Amino acid sequence: DLEEPLQKTFCFPPVKDPISQDIDHILETQSALAVDLGGTNLRVAIVCMRGNIVKKYTEPNPKTFEERMRLILKTCKDAVRDAVHLNCRILGVGISTGGRVNPQEGIVLHSTKLIHEWSSVDLRTPISDALGLPVWVDNDGNCAVLAEKKFGHGRGVENFVTVITGTGIGGGLIHNHELIHGSTFCAAELGHIKVSLEGPECSCGSQGCIEAFASGMALQREAKRLHDEDLLKVEGMDMNLAEPITAAHLISAARNGNSKANAVLHKASMALGVGIVNILHIVNPSLVILSGVLASYYQAPVQDVIKERALVSAQSIKVLKSDLEEPALLGAASMVLDYATRR
């Protein structure tokens, strides 16, 4: 048998040619500063070209405009300083934020009560001036869908949507490989799809929005309500009720046989599922990607509602859970990595 000795003879060490080495070096060092502003948290990260989060900073999102701007700038400056030691060359800043955003101008046009004092805010000018870097801004759900398109399940997919659950519910829509912003930058505000004429009040001021039924905040509200009535805790719940009550307590209670918690989650899943059926009937994507804190919980029930309630032609549409660690942050980074290197 000649094969084995031959292989051994010609087995060179894996030395790369100079061009591949240059490309590797660029992919490893060229980086973005990414910011994600949600209803609860402010995150900043150094993200390299391949989409790895090199370093991440998490703070509660301050309640006032001044404090928020101060914290964004301070954290970004810290990150720029740290990037030097981490061998990351920052090409620019990408900002993901709740609210309607004009990405051409880098302005947050309007926000719901989820982020106070966050309407008519020019983010590009002060941040670009303070850091001496180019700045891109878009809505957080839109950023999440950009991340799926570049790094996640949406790679190469022509038409798909993402629904991201955090404090609220964000959405992003790719049609013919392009991000849809709409006529007044209000497209893909998927959390504000209405599934009921009445229903719980939403932080947008309206009623019956899927965000008011199924978001982290909505489930937290219901969990607290049950807890206040002493109806949350059941035997077998491994959760510490001394820590702040969240949606996680509600899920744990339901799993341990709490029928009231189960009813709340059933309603939330139905609302989200029916909302997603509406999306399928408007844009007919080939894929729905769920992400955020509740994605694993919602994946199966949403798929079931689609089977039960969608038109036959839309029933086979796949619902996947995102495999990205931080879609909104990664999407913010992708704006920098794609646009800063475009010639």
> What is the contact surface with Mg ion in residues (CB under 5 A)?
38, 166
Minimum distance between the CB of residue 145 and Ca ion, rounded to whole angstroms?
Answer: 8
DSSP notation for 203-252: TTS-BSBHHHHHSHHHHHHHHHHHHHTT-S--TT----TTSPP-HHHHHH
For ligand ADP, the closer of residues 88 and 251 by Cβ is 251
**What track of x and - describes contact with Ca ion for positions 171 through 210 (by CB under 5 A)?**
x----------------x----------------------
Whole-number minimum distance, CB 245 to ligand BMX, in Å?
18
327 counts as binding ligand BMX under rule CB under 6 A: no
Question: Among residues 30, 75, 112, 220, which is the contact residue for ligand ADP, using CB under 6 A?
Answer: 220
139 binds, among ligand ADP, Ca ion, Mg ion, none (CB under 5 to 8 A by kind): Ca ion
What are the distances in angstroms from CA 285 to CA 27, 46, 128, 132, 178?
A: 32, 32, 36, 40, 13
**Residue closer to ligand BMX (CB basis): 62 or 166:** 166
# of chain residues touching ligand ADP (CB under 6 A): 15
Specify the 3-state DSSP secondary structure of 164.
strand
Phi, psi at residue 41, to the nearest 5°? -115, 155
Cβ–Cβ under 8 Å, residues 168 and 215: yes
99 binding ligand ADP? (CB under 6 A): no
**Shortest Cβ distance from residue 11 to ligand ADP (Å)?**
48
The identity of residue 307, as a single letter, is: K
Considering only residues 39 through 58, tell me which ones interact with ligand ADP, judged by CB under 6 A.
39-41
**Distances, alpha carbon 6 to alpha carbons 2, 11, 23, in Å:** 6, 9, 32
For 186, counting Cβ atoms within 10 Å of its Cβ (0-12 exposed, 13-18 middle, 19+ buried), the class is: middle
Q: Which of 275, 292, 327, 331 binds ligand ADP (CB under 6 A)?
A: 292
- Which residues contact residue 65 at a Cβ distance below 8 angstroms, ignoring those fewer than 6 apart? 116, 117, 118, 121
Partners of 178 in beta bridges? 175
- Would you state the torsion angle of the CA atoms of residues 95, 127, 101, 64, taken in this order, to the nearest 10 degrees? 100
Site mask for Ca ion (CB under 5 A), range 121-160, x = bound: ------------------x-xx------------------
C-alpha 332/C-alpha 170 separation (Å) is: 14
**Torsion region of 44: left, alpha or beta (phi above 0 gives left; psi -120 to 50 gives alpha):** beta
In the complex, least distance from residue 41 CB atom to ligand ADP, rounded to whole angstroms: 4
- Taking the complex as a whole, the smallest distance from the CB of residue 241 to Ca ion amounts, in Å, to 35
Q: Which one of 62, 94, 152, 170 is in contact with ligand BMX (CB under 6 A)?
A: 170
C-beta separation of 135 from 92 below 8 A: yes
**Residue from the set 31, 32, 38, 303 that interacts with ligand BMX by CB under 6 A:** 38
Give me the least distance between CB of 268 and ligand ADP, in Å please.
Answer: 12
Per the document, the length of the chain is 343
Which is it for the CA torsion 188, 190, 196, 202, positive or negative?
A: negative
Choose the catalytic residue: 17, 129, 140, 228.
140
- How far, in whole angstroms, is CA 66 from its chain's centroid? 25
Q: Is 323 a catalytic residue?
A: no
65 versus 339: smaller Cβ distance to ligand ADP: 65
Q: Which does 211 bind (CB under 5 to 8 A by kind): Mg ion, ligand ADP, ligand BMX, none?
A: ligand BMX
What residues make contact with ligand BMX under the rule CB under 6 A? 38-39, 98-99, 111-112, 114-115, 139-141, 166-170, 189, 191, 211
What residues make contact with ligand ADP under the rule CB under 6 A? 38-41, 166-167, 216-217, 220, 246-248, 292-294
